[in-house]
Structure 1
């Protein structure tokens, strides 16, 4: 394997710099939270799950789209098994169908419905409970990231590993069918034994995903690898707009823009702290800039400077959406459109998807952090105690706004600090303030 020719990391990027490699590119939007002249500050990726006058929590929230896809998959799986049952029944003949065929049909339906249940509900819940938010405090001008702490080598797979869901599903699904057939034999013949081992194996496979994270955390604690909360100065946080191609074996299959908010490693310039930050799709470079402006304006100007994205999930929103669609169909006398609309919503189990999205937002996402996580630190401060922006940030922001008035663009300026001749003191290369993950301190 070839060895790298450079032992040290590349110098850390500064705001305004652009880097291209391997068909992708990235624009550095910070450190120093500078205005990008984006027309709007918009929560494009819907990562602002809550904010008040002092703090904002950012995280990838529950997605209605993923649950509607799960509902459509469940409908498809049920339809396939229903058709298979009817074909088998027609081949055997007789009415009512033999009890063994009924047991096979019920077991088959339960088996195929386990796939969307595990992949669309159980496993995503496990993942969401493992993703703590990024908390920004505009009065303190600090950002709290939850990072992985170094420790002894740890070999257990993380609970978010998709192979765990695949293995659990591979065990749960066949044992479901075997269990139904075994129960039928046990109830219909005196010679058959109760399928106790199959039942236990099936229960264990279903309980594995919800319970494994507790075992994993216990082992990590024993190995000295508990997660930590790191408080990063706001003006040190790294924001990137990243463009990456999707590559298959034959060709480039697609492109995508992402927005990333990451904590730098102060002791290793050019690196970020492990296991922290957020990366979300934004659809394009303007979307990434708008997402950054949304966060920056909250921190620099306050909550009155931003407009949160409209909530498009939950039963209340869904009922209003259905009512609007029905009224429009009645107004245009297009009842065929209304029937198509209803069929699609029923196929996707849309009402359940909206209800469960709301349930996830209220009851699943909060479990990612202790109930009182940073409760004291998150309290508002009196105005006289607010942290002040640095002189360099104020000077560069003023010069940038003047440049925007002249028609210049942020993404075409290059290194902003060099462009305007403002020298920013180098990072002191000392570790940030770090707390145990569950600590509640000011």
Structure 2
């Protein structure tokens, strides 16, 4: 479980247990991946990036929503600048002249402000996505590969996903870009003025900092022996929980949300999880969390034919189909106002670019989160004779649970299923899981 705030860790939860604390609730779905009687296994959070007959990669992928917000902000900023430029233009017409310094300053301000959506919506999210490796499940080996932080003291360099790095480098890039553009006319018209080389170099360095800093960070961690590691966790040891937690502010509770989490336990410290590993995603409620767990569990226990992947809701092809549906509806209903409102919204949010760049991220950015040959040997399918089999306690528990579901007993009211059905599970040995360097392959 996540590290508690008390000095002593709480006892590890088992499948079926429920805990209430501080206005929230937490349901434990695994260890021991038992069925939860969810009607459907659904990828609610869209974390199934790819799967085949043997493996499945889980991770938070790219979404066009953030890019649509970025496009909305960019349109608002450009509209404000266009209005400001119109005011200055009318003033120049009234006075009969338009100073060159004003034009150059306007270009510099426009360039500097345009870097804000570029840094916050494109450059920094790309850096973050490249730092989130997937969780790889191998159903034939019944193992799950997690990428964890190296044990030891906290590393002294700031993490590449630190938002302060983005804010500082973005501010430097915007200010130096404005200064360079503002000083360029004087350099071009006055031969005695030196070229602003230092400002240009600082500007280029600030633009290149975010893409290049992660490589420097990983190099330094490798020098001190703190590079990330790949840990192979037995499938039946993996922790799956769903939680209902309130969102708090100074004024009180502002909302509630359901989360689903998949995490590797620390075998040497019961009650803790391995650092920096796992995934936590938002789901629509307890049924959504159970459906997300069933999607993963059914793939591992029954195979890819037992699941139905979620429909893809991003990409240029999907966007063109959406526009075609809206056009068809307009031609059928002649609702011109709705059609114009839809087109304005898509144009204002730069929707086509958002879907195109989301597709680019999925194909070219997300794969760079792991080395190209990461776990290539380990991920290969095995002959059926070498497949790992479910443990006896898991098989017995699954049979008892299916019988209980037939009697109308829901999973969330059963409590600890091991105690409920008298199934004794041997505690796992307190020894570390197989570990290898993140950049290395697995046998």
TM-score where L is the length of structure 1: 0.97
Alpha-carbon separation, structure 2, partners of 1:110 and 1:366: 31
2:218 counterpart SS class: helix
Partner residue, 1:378: 379
Shift in CA distance, 418/96, structure 1 to aligned 2, threshold 3 Å = farther
2:30 counterpart SS class: coil
Partner residue, 1:315: 316
Q: What is the deviation of 1:185? A: 2.4
Alpha-carbon separation, structure 2, partners of 1:119 and 1:406: 53
Partner residue, 2:68: 68
Partner residue, 1:117: 118
Shift in CA distance, 280/96, structure 1 to aligned 2, threshold 3 Å = farther
Tell me, which stretches of 5 or more residues in structure 1 are unaligned? none
Q: What is the deviation of 1:95? A: 6.3
Alpha-carbon separation, structure 2, partners of 1:284 and 1:189: 67
2:254 counterpart SS class: strand
Contact 1:17 1:415 in 2 (8 A): yes
1:326 counterpart SS class: helix
Q: What is the deviation of 1:103? A: 1.3
Alpha-carbon separation, structure 1, partners of 2:231 and 2:62: 25
1:411 counterpart SS class: helix
Partner residue, 2:59: 59
Tell me, which stretches of 5 or more residues in structure 2 are unaligned? none
Partner residue, 1:225: 226
Cα RMSD (Å) of the superposition?
1.5
Alpha-carbon separation, structure 2, partners of 1:407 and 1:433: 41
Alpha-carbon separation, structure 2, partners of 1:163 and 1:186: 34
Alpha-carbon separation, structure 2, partners of 1:36 and 1:106: 60
Shift in CA distance, 95/228, structure 1 to aligned 2, threshold 3 Å = farther
Q: What is the deviation of 1:152? A: 5.0
TM-score where L is the length of structure 2: 0.96
Contact 1:134 1:145 in 2 (8 A): yes
Partner residue, 2:302: 301
Stretch of structure 1 that moved more, 239-248 or 357-366: 239-248
Alpha-carbon separation, structure 2, partners of 1:31 and 1:95: 78
1:134-190: CA deviation from partner (whole Å, max 9, x where unpaired)? 000000000000001124552111001111111111211122222211112222334
Partner residue, 1:45: 45
Q: What is the deviation of 1:207? A: 0.8
Alpha-carbon separation, structure 2, partners of 1:191 and 1:343: 50
Partner residue, 1:397: 398
Partner residue, 2:82: 82
Contact 1:151 1:223 in 2 (8 A): no
Contact 1:139 1:380 in 2 (8 A): yes
Alpha-carbon separation, structure 2, partners of 1:5 and 1:288: 25
Shift in CA distance, 211/6, structure 1 to aligned 2, threshold 3 Å = closer
2:90 counterpart SS class: helix
Partner residue, 2:289: 288
Shift in CA distance, 220/5, structure 1 to aligned 2, threshold 3 Å = closer
Contact 1:15 1:30 in 2 (8 A): yes
2:62 counterpart SS class: coil
Shift in CA distance, 372/5, structure 1 to aligned 2, threshold 3 Å = closer
Q: What is the deviation of 1:6? A: 6.1
Q: What is the deviation of 1:61? A: 0.5
Q: What does residue range 422-437 of structure 1 map to in structure 2 within 5 Å?
A: 422-437=423-438
1:280 counterpart SS class: strand
Contact 1:152 1:225 in 2 (8 A): no
Shift in CA distance, 426/331, structure 1 to aligned 2, threshold 3 Å = same
Contact 1:30 1:237 in 2 (8 A): yes
Q: What is the deviation of 1:224? A: 0.8
Contact 1:82 1:105 in 2 (8 A): no
Stretch of structure 1 that moved more, 329-338 or 88-97: 88-97
Q: What is the deviation of 1:314? A: 0.7
Runs of 4+ in 1 over 3 A off after TM superposition: 4-7, 91-97, 188-192
Alpha-carbon separation, structure 2, partners of 1:426 and 1:211: 45
Q: What is the deviation of 1:96? A: 7.0
Shift in CA distance, 129/95, structure 1 to aligned 2, threshold 3 Å = farther
1:89-133: CA deviation from partner (whole Å, max 9, x where unpaired)? 333445673322221222122111111100111001001101100
Alignment partner of 1:101 is 2:102:
yes
Alpha-carbon separation, structure 2, partners of 1:96 and 1:264: 71
Stretch of structure 1 that moved more, 293-302 or 106-115: 106-115
Shift in CA distance, 139/97, structure 1 to aligned 2, threshold 3 Å = same
Alpha-carbon separation, structure 2, partners of 1:338 and 1:256: 34
1:17-67: CA deviation from partner (whole Å, max 9, x where unpaired)? 111222222111100001111111110110000000000000000111011
Shift in CA distance, 417/191, structure 1 to aligned 2, threshold 3 Å = same
Partner residue, 2:421: 420
Shift in CA distance, 95/430, structure 1 to aligned 2, threshold 3 Å = farther
Contact 1:31 1:235 in 2 (8 A): yes
Partner residue, 1:127: 128
Alpha-carbon separation, structure 2, partners of 1:99 and 1:323: 46
Alpha-carbon separation, structure 2, partners of 1:18 and 1:183: 66
Q: What is the deviation of 1:256? A: 0.8
